[in-house]
Chains A and B, each alone.
Chain A
Amino acid sequence: MDVIEHGRGKPPLDPHLKALENEAIHIFREVAAEFERPVMLYSIGKDSSVLLHLALKAFHPGKLPFPLLHIDTGWKFSEMITFRDRVAARHGLDLITHTNPDGLRDHVTPFSHGSARYTDIMKTQALKQALDLGRYDAAFGGARRDEEASRAKERIYSFRTPDHAWDPRNQRPELWSIYNGMIHSGESVRAFPLSNWTEVDIWRYIQAEGIELVPLYFAQRRKVVERDGMLVAADDPRMQLLPEEQVREEMVRFRTLGCIPLTGAVRSQATTLDQVIAELEIATVSERQGRAIDRDQSGSMEKKKREGYF
């Protein structure tokens, strides 16, 4: 068998990124070896793109020894779905998508049910259904500890009860780089290879490795409407406008990608990776500022995670 070299002529990573990459690969291999039915949660965003790239590296020259799972709320940007299917085809990935059938039946939308209930039904409950259906005992996720205060306390192997609940006060100690993957039947772990990465690390790695991203991360003239201090994309035909809201075209891009009406855009002229990174250098607000679901209530992320959100 001929071993393909993907990095011929590419300059080596700096020691900082190399260390983060090595750690992530180590975690991928450990989980794949210790668990019977691992799965990788794939959200199509930049962190997921980095996660997928690292997974491909970890198992090279073999293929990924697990499927990818995308929880499709039905409210993702169309560019995201196109991108997802192209990536899956290119790497020959085993891609599973799941949408909560109860939510579809009850016509649950961000407009009819509010962001908190919608997120619970179409994301948290959908994820639990999909994990149960696949009987997965380990799920890789792209969460980072720098994202949010409760995530700063999360382990790399985050232990979940059979109900997928997270008990932050009863976490397993995690020493050195020795991970305890022993669980009882029905229990599972969420594994986070990007735990020690920061947003800047993600972008620098994307640049260094030439990782392709959904075009939504780059500035373009897009239809938006201003809502609750956020710029919300308005080009989806299903977008419901409130009275007095006006759609206008602006140069915007997204720092994170979630569901259409719940993800805020930022005004930006950055159309290339270099320009995005330059903007990041002088940014004074965090990426999660654009996420409505974090602002539902204080300790919002911890609450969702306890209930099984990833």
Chain B
Amino acid sequence: MQSQSVSRIGETLDSSEDALPRPEIAGRQARPLRFITCGSVDDGKSTLIGRLLWDTKAIMEDQAATLERQSTGQHNELGLPDFALLLDGLQAEREQGITIDVAYRYFSTGRRSFIVADTPGHVQYTRNMATGASTADLAVLLVDARAGLLEQTRRHATIASLMGIRQFVLAVNKIDLSNYDEAGFEAIAREFRELALSLGVRQVTAIPVSALKGENIVRRGDEQMPWYDGPTLVEVLEKATQRTGQTTGFRLPVQRVSRPGEGFRGYQGTVAGGSIKPGDSVVVLPSGVEANVKAIVTYDLVRNAAVSGDAITLVLDRPVDVARGDMIAAIDQRPQVGRGYSARLVALSPDGIVPGKRYWLKAGARRQRVTVRPVTVLDLATGKWEDATTLPVNGIGQAELDFEEAAIFDSYESNRETGAFILIDPDSLNTVAGGMIDRKRAPGDRLRTLPGADHASITLPARLVEAFLNTDFAKAHRGEIRIEGE
């Protein structure tokens, strides 16, 4: 029985004329592109991912045969197995018919390989989506062509942009069920571009697709949609840019000190920004001691340069005190060092974030004590930041963080590695929040008063301006407040 169903699938595979050949094994000239898919079961997300894996030949026959056994041999109208069963890997998920947790999928085309973070769509799984988005270069947002943008589309787009994703693809799915309506598609695309722009995302591609029929996913859908001359989903993914996101100088968070024998002392870590070569001057933080790079050691070679992403062992030209958790950085482009900063948090645990509680904060290889004071919480339905003193689970908010020892950091905007952190509950030891650093907080940093001047400049993130102007204080002094660019 099993072998029969396998051969049936084999036929489906062979009869698909436009199917890609199996990916070439030749070397790929880019690192894997990581993307996230957002949408709900109703939008056909499982079918979309299943289609991607199927048409790029990432599903093998025995895996399909396992599907057959689990789905009691039922196929959809196109003779394809039920993809959701393949994707929902946990027993509880199969039983309940829902996706609970982030799953990672792998597929490749002749040009590139991809890692998809497949995340659940419901509001109570915002934290899972944030987890998937934290490493993604691009987000694919899925909507039903007949329903258009929903509140959850706004929510997903907001979370993705907050986590630093700057490339969106809108897959307008089930276009076949809208009779391939061009005007309807254009209206959804237009509305989505406005939404993306309001979140600061300019790289947006909208594609009319039918995941079920495989139109504009891997193969083109010209027959039904002659009016669409844009790229297929896979074409967009193949050409997507990778977020280097690092406009800072050299950064090496020190993971461990290697002292294997007489006379060798190396600092091991992964370069988290910029580049380095022997002879370059560096500073060790937080101590502030300066030194020059003597050698960059790897297993293969003693190298003459290293760039962001490289796992290296750095040797300095003089004996200095360096420990795990320190950072070695470019002498002329230093990260910030301070006892406090403001950041955006995503609360991941059922207890939320409790003001005044001492948490552990881990950033890079550095772990230290911190107290957290939530200031605002984001209303995902409206996109407005409201005043708050606590942060509930799945809540996204801004908070002020205070350290007992110096923190070493960059803003998330300038460096996704050194600008991110997690919070760990000291009792449960669970990871309870992910954080993105906005800026250093210090007296005089927020409020600059020029001697003798009758005004002071306050800098606010653009998204807070409206909230600020809505305060009673601001309303009372409306005439005295100047907004730049107004």
| Chain A residues engaging chain B, CB cutoff 8 angstroms | 1, 3, 5-8, 10, 14-22, 25-26, 29-30, 32-33, 56-63, 145-146, 148-153, 168-169, 171-178, 180, 182-184, 195-196, 198, 200, 203-204, 229, 277, 280-286, 288-289, 298-299, 302-303
Report the bound CA distance from A135 to B25 in whole Å: 42
Closest beta carbon of chain B to A250's beta carbon, Å: 20
Pull 20 A–B residue pairs with CB atoms less than 8 Å apart, ordered by A.
Answer: A5-B301, A5-B302, A7-B300, A8-B301, A15-B29, A16-B30, A20-B32, A22-B310, A61-B260, A152-B104, A171-B101, A173-B348, A176-B135, A180-B424, A182-B360, A182-B424, A284-B13, A284-B60, A286-B63, A288-B62
State whether A62 touches B258 (Cβ < 8 A).
Answer: yes
A-B interface pairs (CB < 8 A), number: 207
Nearest chain-A residue to B93 (Cβ)?
A153
Query: Provided the pairs A5-B301, A183-B429 are in contact, do residues A152 and B324 lie with their beta carbons within 8 angstroms?
Result: no
Residues of B within 8 A of A61 (CB): 258, 260-261, 264, 266, 297, 313
Interface SS of B by simple majority:
mixed
B28 beta carbon closer than 8 Å to chain A: yes
Residues of A within 8 A of B295 (CB): 3
State whether B104 touches A145 (Cβ < 8 A).
Answer: yes
State whether B131 touches A285 (Cβ < 8 A).
Answer: no
Residues of B within 8 A of A198 (CB): 106, 108, 113
Residues of B within 8 A of A183 (CB): 429
| Chain B residues engaging chain A, CB cutoff 8 angstroms | 3, 10, 13, 22-25, 27-32, 60-63, 66, 69-70, 86-92, 94, 100-106, 108, 113, 115, 127-128, 130-131, 134-135, 255-256, 258-264, 266, 268-270, 295, 297-302, 309-311, 313, 324, 348, 360, 362-365, 416-417, 420-422, 424, 429-431, 434
Query: Provided the pairs A32-B256, A169-B100, A302-B89 are in contact, do residues A174 and B431 lie with their beta carbons within 8 angstroms?
Result: yes
Closest beta carbon of chain B to A108's beta carbon, Å: 27
State whether B270 touches A57 (Cβ < 8 A).
Answer: no
Beyond A22-B310, A175-B422, 19 additional pairs, beta carbon < 8 A: A18-B309, A19-B31, A19-B32, A25-B270, A32-B256, A57-B298, A61-B261, A149-B86, A149-B88, A153-B89, A173-B348, A177-B417, A178-B420, A178-B422, A204-B27, A229-B3, A284-B10, A284-B61, A299-B91
State whether A59 touches B31 (Cβ < 8 A).
Answer: no
Contact of A33 among B25, B105, B365, B424 (CB under 8 A): B365
Contact of B268 among A16, A17, A29, A151 (CB under 8 A): A29
State whether B60 touches A283 (Cβ < 8 A).
Answer: yes
Contact of B62 among A176, A289, A298 (CB under 8 A): A289
State whether B258 touches A59 (Cβ < 8 A).
Answer: yes
Report the bound CA distance from A8 to B61 in whole Å: 41
State whether B297 touches A60 (Cβ < 8 A).
Answer: yes
Closest beta carbon of chain A to B301's beta carbon, Å: 5
Residues of B within 8 A of A285 (CB): 60-62
Report the bound CA distance from A281 to B20 in whole Å: 13
Report the bound CA distance from A280 to B23 in whole Å: 11
State whether A175 touches B434 (Cβ < 8 A).
Answer: yes
State whether A298 touches B299 (Cβ < 8 A).
Answer: no
State whether A196 touches B94 (Cβ < 8 A).
Answer: no
Nearest chain-B residue to A171 (Cβ)?
B101
Report the bound CA distance from A89 to B409 in whole Å: 44
Report the bound CA distance from A6 to B128 in whole Å: 41
Nearest chain-B residue to A180 (Cβ)?
B431
Report the bound CA distance from A229 to B6 in whole Å: 13
Report the bound CA distance from A169 to B102 in whole Å: 11
Report the bound CA distance from A58 to B115 in whole Å: 24
Nearest chain-A residue to B163 (Cβ)?
A175
Which 6 interchain pairs have the tightest Cβ spacing?
A: A7-B300, A149-B89, A62-B260, A14-B27, A19-B31, A25-B311
State whether B60 touches A286 (Cβ < 8 A).
Answer: yes
State whether B263 touches A22 (Cβ < 8 A).
Answer: no
Query: Provided the pairs A7-B300, A25-B311, A178-B363 are in contact, do residues A63 and B260 lie with their beta carbons within 8 angstroms?
Result: yes
Contact of B299 among A7, A175, A182 (CB under 8 A): A7
State whether B300 touches A6 (Cβ < 8 A).
Answer: yes
Most chain A CB within a 10 A radius of its CB, from B258, B266, B421? B258
State whether B135 touches A177 (Cβ < 8 A).
Answer: yes
State whether B25 touches A281 (Cβ < 8 A).
Answer: yes
Residues of A within 8 A of B417 (CB): 176-177
Residues of B within 8 A of A19 (CB): 31-32, 309
Report the bound CA distance from A303 to B377 in whole Å: 40
State whether A16 touches B113 (Cβ < 8 A).
Answer: yes
Closest beta carbon of chain B to A34's beta carbon, Å: 9
Closest beta carbon of chain B to A279's beta carbon, Å: 11
Query: Provided the pairs A33-B365, A57-B299 are in contact, do residues A299 and B94 lie with their beta carbons within 8 angstroms?
Result: yes
Closest beta carbon of chain B to A280's beta carbon, Å: 7
Closest beta carbon of chain B to A176's beta carbon, Å: 5
State whether B430 touches A172 (Cβ < 8 A).
Answer: yes
State whether B61 touches A29 (Cβ < 8 A).
Answer: no
Closest beta carbon of chain B to A39's beta carbon, Å: 17
State whether B262 touches A175 (Cβ < 8 A).
Answer: no
State whether A180 touches B362 (Cβ < 8 A).
Answer: yes
Residues of B within 8 A of A8 (CB): 300-301
Residues of A within 8 A of B324 (CB): 33
State whether B62 touches A282 (Cβ < 8 A).
Answer: no
Report the bound CA distance from A95 to B312 in whole Å: 26
